[in-house]
Amino acid sequence: MAGFVVLIVGVVTAFDIAFGYGPVWIVVAFVVAMLLTWGAYFKSDAIALRASRARPASREEFARYHNLVDGLCIAGGLEKPRLYIVDDPAPNAFATGRNPKHAALAVTTGLLEKMNRVELEGVLAHELSHVKNYDILVSTIAVTMVGVVALLADLGFRMMWLGGGRRRSNNSGGAAGGLLLVFALIMLVLAPIIARIMQFAVSRQRELLADASGVQLTRYPPGLISALEKLKEDQTVVRSATKATAQLWIESPLDEEEGHKQAKMNRLFQTHPPLEERIRILEEM
Q: Can you give the pLDDT at residue 41?
A: 74
Nearest to 159 by CA among 7, 17, 19, 13: 19
Per residue in 241-263, pLDDT tens? 776 677 788 987 765 554 555 54
In this prediction, what percent of the chain has a pLDDT beyond 70?
81
Mean pLDDT score of the chain: 81
Q: Can you give the pLDDT at residue 195?
A: 80
Catalytic-residue membership of 127: yes
**Total structural domains within the chain:** 1
pLDDT over threshold 50, residue 81? yes
pLDDT band (50, 70, 90) for residue 166: very low
Could you give the dihedral angle defined by the CA atoms of residues 8, 11, 12 and 13, in that order, rounded to the nearest 10 degrees? 120
Is the pTM here over 0.75, yes or no?
Answer: yes
Per residue in 47-77, pLDDT tens? 889 988 999 999 999 999 999 999 999 999 9
Q: 149-184 burial, b for 16+ CB within 10 Å, e for fewer?
A: bbebbeebeebbeeebbeebbeebeeeebeebbeeb
Which candidate in 119, 127, 207, 251 is catalytic? 127
Per residue in 82-139, pLDDT tens? 999 999 999 999 998 888 898 999 999 999 999 999 999 999 999 999 999 988 777 7
Q: Can you give the pLDDT at residue 257?
A: 55
- Residue span of the structural domain in which 234 resides: 2-284
Q: Which residue has the higher pLDDT, 111 or 12?
A: 111
Determine the Cα–Cα distance for residues 180 and 190; give it in Å rounded to an integer.
15
